[in-house]
Amino acid sequence: MYLDGSSWTDWLDWLPSSSDMSSLLLAQTGFRLDFGKIWDRVPFILGGINVTLQFTLLSVVFGFTWGIILALLKISNIPPVKWLAAAYTSIFRGTPLILQLSLIYFATPQLTGYNISPLQAGVLTFSLNSGAYTSETIRGGILAVDKGQWDASASLGIPYRSMMLDIIFPQALKNILPAMVNESIALLKDSALVSVIGVVDVMRRAQIVGSEKYIYFEPLLMAGLIYYVMVIGLTSLAQTFELRLRKSD
Amino acid sequence: MIKVENLHKSFGSLQVLKGITTEIEKGTVVAVIGPSGCGKSTFLRCLNRLEVATSGQITIDGVEVTHPKTDILKLRQKVGMVFQHFNIFPHMTVLENLMYAPVKVKRVSKAQAEQKGKDLLTRVGLADKADVYPNRLSGGQKQRVAIARSLAMEPEVMLFDEPTSALDPEMVREVLDVMKALAREHMTMAIVTHEMGFAREVADRVCFFDSGYLVEDAPPAQFFSHPQAERAKQFLEKML
């Protein structure tokens, strides 16, 4: 999909697929790395990138949006609303993500009769969970904006909504961006959890290839490399974005 | 223009304003002075309801600020405010700072707001800084932008909360000059300040606050040469 076959083969040849190198390293155990064995299934594993990216992107967008809403509820002046938002955060931070995922995927059909797809269940869980974490970061970022900015906005007669959207939030974003990049990276990696509800993402595909070929090290190593490259890509993307945000510094 | 009757303000158990009654007539400049912690800034912030009065009544141009049903955002459009720490929007250019509220709040067209913004920048001597971000400006320049930003809303009253207290001494004057020009144009102004020379020169009246009370209210000539209240005498001795 990304490169033509021959270049991939070249690359694999360069890796310790040649018997001399792997046997040199691991001669005593009789263990040999042989990427040639999974070569025909590499496109299949790479195909998981789409699935993983789709999950991550949707979860980041919905989770961030939900986090903003929760943060706004937390800084509101209405005690029951604040309390609810805090209780929500506490529950979602206080229970394992995989439990939440299983509950939503397996319990939703039982509870509502709606047959939730693994993609929907995964994105829903990750968004709900990520919202709980990011809401605290966003709340902190909003409150860290100089109080004078609120005063100035108020004194100009700017309505709350516009103030938040145009004055406070752009400044808060600078404070919270590094934490949001961390959260996106965590989501990208945690997305591997959806393999347990049968989504064929990078992780699941690596496992499938492993069980087809009776070798696990090579496909899992490959999956690891794919995740790592995606994280690096995400990080550099975030750096570019951060530089643009800081043009007024 | 502004009427204040028996204004009280408490923060928890701390009483900051203990019954202020005064009036600011249209086109006049009132300097509010007093030792720190006397409540003068709180008084000013009550006037546009940045602080909600505990009791008492404030009306501006016939509109009751202290009434909970008053459309405060609409009222604030008529009441500009300048702060000690400028509070310029750091993520917008100077011109954007001036254009944002007129476009967003008053629904002025962008072209019109831009023209008005540029005119105002010329007036405060910063025409060449229109497209600069605020962090490139000195304190005095920031404060002049802040004044221009308030004026862009075409307010009828301007409140100044220690506008020169955060400035290096050599920048105080450029800000005071802009304020003097405003006073000459008969802008109604309430100015909390420590600049006694400025108060004496520009103000029509001086209000001296102490421990939450309006202790003395007199024309500057009278106040600075013959203060009546004992506390005002002590204060002036230290200041001058």
CA A178 from chain center: how many Å?
14
Residue B11's H or E segment, with its range, is strand B2-11
Best residue in A155, A169, A171 to probe B by mutation, most B CBs within 10 Å? A155
Of A157, A162, A167, the CB nearest to B89: A167
Closest CA to B188 of B60, B21, B74: B60
> Is the Cβ pair A152, B87 closer than 8 Å?
yes
pLDDT at B158 over 90: yes
Pairing of strands B63-64, B55-60: antiparallel
Structure tokens at A91: 């529950």
- According to the model, what pLDDT value does residue A245 have? 80
- According to the model, what pLDDT value does residue A5 have? 46
Closest CA to B119 of B96, B95, B135, B143: B95
Q: Write the Ramachandran bin of A30: left for phi over 0, alpha for psi from -120 to 50, otherwise beta.
A: left
**Confidence tier at B93 by pLDDT (50, 70, 90):** very high
Which one-letter amino acid corresponds to residue B63? Answer: V
Mean of pLDDT values over B40-61: 95
For B33, phi then psi, to 5°, come to: -130, 170
> Quick check: B50 contacting A, CB < 8 Å?
yes
Closest residue in B to A249 (Cα–Cα): B135
**Confidence tier at A34 by pLDDT (50, 70, 90):** confident
CA atoms within 13 A on the CB side of A38: 29
Structure tokens at B131: 């497209």
Closest residue in A to B136 (Cα–Cα): A249
- Other Cβ atoms less than 10 A from the Cβ of B128: the count is 10
Q: Average pLDDT of chain A?
A: 87
Mean of pLDDT values over B182-207: 94
Mean of pLDDT values over A27-33: 63
- According to the model, what pLDDT value does residue A18 have? 47
Which residues have a Cβ under 8 Å from the Cβ of A115 and sit 6 or more positions away? A109
Give the predicted TM-score (pTM) of the model. Answer: 0.83
B145 in Cβ contact with B126 (< 8 Å): yes
Residue B213's H or E segment, with its range, is strand B213-218
- According to the model, what pLDDT value does residue B134 have? 95
Listed in sequence order, the DSSP H helices in B17-87 are: 40-47, 72-76
- According to the model, what pLDDT value does residue B29 have? 96
- According to the model, what pLDDT value does residue A242 have? 85
- According to the model, what pLDDT value does residue A2 have? 46
> Quick check: B136 contacting A, CB < 8 Å?
no
- According to the model, what pLDDT value does residue A248 have? 73
Measured in angstroms, the CA of A154 and the nearest CA of chain B are apart by 7
pLDDT at A145 over 90: yes
Closest residue in B to A172 (Cα–Cα): B91
pLDDT at A16 over 70: no
Closest residue in A to B92 (Cα–Cα): A248
Q: Give CA torsion, residues A119, A124, A127, A131, to 10 deg.
A: -170
**Confidence tier at A30 by pLDDT (50, 70, 90):** low
Measured in angstroms, the CA of B21 and the nearest CA of chain A are apart by 23
> Quick check: B80 contacting A, CB < 8 Å?
yes
**Confidence tier at A31 by pLDDT (50, 70, 90):** low
- According to the model, what pLDDT value does residue A81 have? 95
Best residue in B45, B98, B104 to probe A by mutation, most A CBs within 10 Å? B104
- According to the model, what pLDDT value does residue A10 have? 53
